[in-house]
Structure 1
Amino acid sequence: MRLRSFASLGFMLLMALTPLVALAQPQPLDRIVAVVNKDAIMQSQLEDRVTQVSQQMASRNVPVPDEDDLRRQVLDRMIVEQIQLQMAERANVSIDDTQLNAAVRDIAKNNDMSLDEFADSLEADGMSLAAVREQVRREMLLRQVQQSQVASRVNVTDREVDRYLEQQGESSDTAYHLEHILVSLPESPTPEQVEQAQAEAHDLYRQLQDGADFQQLATADSDGEQALSGGDLGWRRGDQLPTIFADVVPQLADGEVSEPVRSPSGFHLVKRIETRGGQGEQKTVVTENQVRHILIGTNPNRNDEQAESLAEDIRQRIAGGESFAELAQQYSDDDGSALDGGELGWVRPGQMVPAFEDAVDDMSVGELSQPVRSRFGYHVIELEDRRQQDVTRDAQREQVRQTLFQRKVNDELEAWTQEIRSGAYIDNRLEDSQQ
């Protein structure tokens, strides 16, 4: 069994997985192609990444640009990645093995494989699971940095959600497949820089009107995050369009390219590839469980074995007729629920840690659980009631909140990328050698 195209794994592996270079092959002398603050990017690292990106583009039928253009684009992405990894190091951000193992298992699952089958397929394709794990860890670090730095700037208020629902009513039932080219601007650009970027964007627009291939131009010239995917933004529902495209895309015909659109991060060209209707709003019903629990955690005076033993003793006392509420007030380490006799009220899927939720799902109303282990300690759980609840309105509001949040994040991301670049010391020696 061979591994499917990595394109099916999403962007996380598109840029992360780098083929191993056979040690037996003679290696040319290495050199530094860029210095990013205190770190160097080597020619060998760049060439490995260029090879990998070329293979990915070919597998997705994205036209490969001129070799120098591709090398420049790849190095530019590597420079931005290196800045973010340095930010992660300074902030002591790390990915523990539990998170990493879960991510790798998800990748294997997305390819309909067990972890062992995934490892075998990687080996057959000349890669090792250990190498892939480190590349995935690296990509997860980048995502965490972006989440902490960009998402922390974004807030969506209840009033914004209300206003959106008033203006839009139900969610848009139209989705658009889009491609995108960005001609970026530096932070606080001069009038000359704006004029130059605008002229470049109009030149690209002219080339596209004359029949140039959008994906090839995007790969060679776009400063956007999706440049090495041919500028492909994928499918976006009408209510999920970036703010700057919300008024532009619906006015385009399929196959049409917009004129340059200005934003703080630069000038954008967007192409509407295809349109399809959505399914509209659907009723959302979830199972809610009314539960109470007693949490026995570990501490300097109570190890894991002692915590489990105490939890089992409490469970037996409840089963023998003692008051759940009184024992919760006396023993529970969950301060938030202990004073209420361990009551957690009605909880929905996703609100509790997985081990707790899995145990409740398997319980019958009135049942008392065995001690359930989670990262917080040992839980003794009682399922008091269960019901089906229509949460359509709540789900709609949450969907709108996430839509507005993602719009704001997308608007911020390009500007943040330019900001961190302008604040870093970058010595791009590849550009010097190509001049």
Structure 2
Amino acid sequence: MKFISKVLLAGVFFITAAIAQETPLDKVAVIVDKGVILESEINALVNEVKRNAEANNQSLPSDLALRTQAIERLIMKSLQMQMADRMGIQISDPQLEQTIQNIAKDQNATLADLRQQLQQNGISYDSYRENVREELIMGEVRRANVRRRVYITAQEIEALTKLIDQQGAEQAEYELGHILIGFPSQPTDEDVAAARDRADRVLELLNNGSDFAKIAIASSSGTNALEGGNMGWMNINAMPTLFAEAVQGKAKGELIGPIRSGAGFHILKILDTRGIETVTVEEVNARHILIKPSIILSEDKAKKMLIDFKRQIENNEATFADLAKEHSEDPGSALKGGNLGWADPTIYVPAFRDALASLEPNEMSDPIRSVHGWHLIELLERRIDDATEKRKEDKAYQLLYNRKFQEETEAWLREMRDQAYIEVVE
């Protein structure tokens, strides 16, 4: 399970519900608006959590607690996938394959290695592909709906820029455990009091030596509950504001909370810390030609157009700039000959970013598929960022955006669930 665990920790959670074998006893377990959750899906997710726990030597709460958490996760998944259908969000096969290749590459493995590891763990490659597709779709749904809820003021950017100046390029990082004892989006005094009482009892159990991950799986309303509440590594500026203020000055192993927010009461544990690191940022100057597939232009024809463009450029039959001006469907760069200017490569979508990482200066890529369409990319130059004032402001903005996006995502998911019709079928 070593490879799969790394993939999960990298931020993509692959639920293997699709590998469950249908039986005559399968039935509808939950109705979620216009969708349903089958008993087999719940059982498959519970079994997946158990397999991961066994591989990591992690104890688990009761089957009833696991089932409750599994149902909750599948409800949220169903609501997001239904919204994706309404919004017309789809992930093409070429984009999906590119993403899977990038996942394997991030683990210093080949696609064949990934297939072999999946087979060893009893997971079919087709099921894995579709679960990756669902994760990508849900990510697009969250970005489309949450992005417009994030508002950042000039004063916030200025304040964080000053803090970055004080701290320099060295930032302490924390691996956080998180338990959320939630209450409704419009709680009564009784709801708040009951949640506070539960949070106090949880904190007492933890102070008496109970296993944090086990209690998180059993009791937490947070999105990381089935991962034992583990939020992964974050620096102080990337955390939700409440957490950032609470963890400063705290040491490994300390428990923090309960901390009240609009979602409920939070209990944190500092699972680990890692020291001061020097951060250097490389910027790239690149240009591209974008061709978007459509009903008229197929995926294959769009790709072949770029292959022909690359041949023309290499044979000096045309210039990159002229082809970009004539054919590129990126209005922001087409008039500039496809030039994107100097930028931190992390601002680009993963497929584009990874293609840039593999290029040498003045080298062109093969056609690359991203969420935007097919790209022909040329890397012009690389340089090390000199941490100018503009860069500091951009960094401050991105940190604030990531923090607020996480907070607003939790609120958006909670609101969507509160408004949904959900019926657990007895």
Class of the TM-score when normalised by the shorter of the 2 chains: 0.7 to 0.9
Separation in 2, partners of 1:41, 1:377: 35
Separation in 1, partners of 2:377, 2:207: 67
- Deviation, structure 1 residue 216: 1.4
**Which residue of 2 is the match for residue 85 of structure 1?**
81
Task: Give the number of equivalent residue pairs.
Answer: 408
Picking from 242, 247, 257, the partner of 1:259 is 257
**Which residue of 1 is the match for residue 16 of structure 2?**
17
Mapping for residues 356-435 of structure 1, pairs under 5 Å: 361=360, 363=362, 388=383, 390-393=385-388, 394-429=390-425
What residue identity is the alignment partner of 1:44?
S
- Deviation, structure 1 residue 80: 1.3
**Greater CA drift, 143-152 or 168-177:** 168-177
Per-residue CA deviations over 1:73-109 (Å, capped at 9, x if unaligned) read 1111111111111111111111111221112112322
Pair 1:6–1:117, CA change in 2 (3 A)? closer
Mapping for residues 186-335 of structure 1, pairs under 5 Å: 186-280=184-278, 282-284=279-281, 286=283, 288=285, 308=308, 312=312
Scaled by the length of structure 2, the TM-score of the pair is 0.80
Per-residue CA deviations over 1:232-276 (Å, capped at 9, x if unaligned) read 122221222211112211243432212310001111011122323
CA contact (8 A) 2:20 2:40 kept: no
Pair 1:132–1:337, CA change in 2 (3 A)? closer
Pair 1:161–1:172, CA change in 2 (3 A)? farther
Secondary structure, in 3 states, of the residue corresponding to 2:64?
Answer: helix
- Deviation, structure 1 residue 405: 1.0
CA contact (8 A) 1:355 1:373 kept: no
CA contact (8 A) 1:175 1:276 kept: yes
Secondary structure, in 3 states, of the residue corresponding to 2:151?
Answer: coil
Picking from 157, 162, 165, the partner of 2:161 is 165
For the pair shown, the structure with the greater C-alpha radius of gyration is 1
What residue identity is the alignment partner of 2:421?
Y
- Deviation, structure 1 residue 122: 2.3
What residue identity is the alignment partner of 2:72?
D
Picking from 45, 56, 60, the partner of 1:49 is 45
Pair 1:263–1:349, CA change in 2 (3 A)? closer
What residue identity is the alignment partner of 1:198?
R
Separation in 2, partners of 1:423, 1:412: 16
Mapping for residues 55-74 of structure 1, pairs under 5 Å: 55-74=51-70
Secondary structure, in 3 states, of the residue corresponding to 2:256?
Answer: coil
**Greater CA drift, 331-340 or 182-191:** 331-340
Separation in 1, partners of 2:127, 2:231: 28
Per-residue CA deviations over 1:16-42 (Å, capped at 9, x if unaligned) read 23483568xxx5723332111122222
Separation in 1, partners of 2:317, 2:161: 51
Unmatched 5+ residue regions in structure 2? none
- Deviation, structure 1 residue 10: 1.9
What residue identity is the alignment partner of 1:363?
N
Task: State, as a whole percentage, how many aligned pairs show the same letter.
Answer: 28
Secondary structure, in 3 states, of the residue corresponding to 1:112?
Answer: coil
What residue identity is the alignment partner of 1:184?
G
CA contact (8 A) 1:296 1:331 kept: no
- Deviation, structure 1 residue 9: 0.6
Separation in 2, partners of 1:336, 1:14: 34
Scaled by the length of structure 1, the TM-score of the pair is 0.79
Pair 1:39–1:210, CA change in 2 (3 A)? same
- Deviation, structure 1 residue 191: 1.7
CA contact (8 A) 2:257 2:267 kept: yes
Unmatched 5+ residue regions in structure 1? none
**Which residue of 1 is the match for residue 5 of structure 2?**
7
- Deviation, structure 1 residue 354: 7.2
Pair 1:348–1:245, CA change in 2 (3 A)? closer
Pair 1:48–1:263, CA change in 2 (3 A)? same
Q: Root-mean-square deviation (CA), in Å?
A: 4.0
What residue identity is the alignment partner of 2:86?
R
**Which residue of 1 is the match for residue 96 of structure 2?**
100
**Greater CA drift, 166-175 or 198-207:** 166-175
CA contact (8 A) 1:14 1:56 kept: no
Secondary structure, in 3 states, of the residue corresponding to 2:269?
Answer: strand
CA contact (8 A) 1:16 1:139 kept: no
- Deviation, structure 1 residue 6: 1.7
Separation in 1, partners of 2:94, 2:198: 47
Secondary structure, in 3 states, of the residue corresponding to 1:259?
Answer: strand
- Deviation, structure 1 residue 202: 1.4
Separation in 1, partners of 2:14, 2:269: 23
**Is 2:29 the partner of 1:33?**
yes
CA contact (8 A) 1:62 1:229 kept: no
CA contact (8 A) 2:285 2:382 kept: yes
- Deviation, structure 1 residue 318: 7.0
Pair 1:330–1:423, CA change in 2 (3 A)? closer
Secondary structure, in 3 states, of the residue corresponding to 1:195?
Answer: helix
What residue identity is the alignment partner of 1:4?
K
What residue identity is the alignment partner of 1:392?
A
- Deviation, structure 1 residue 409: 1.5
Separation in 1, partners of 2:14, 2:44: 11
Pair 1:173–1:181, CA change in 2 (3 A)? same
Separation in 2, partners of 1:148, 1:93: 10
Separation in 2, partners of 1:411, 1:330: 40
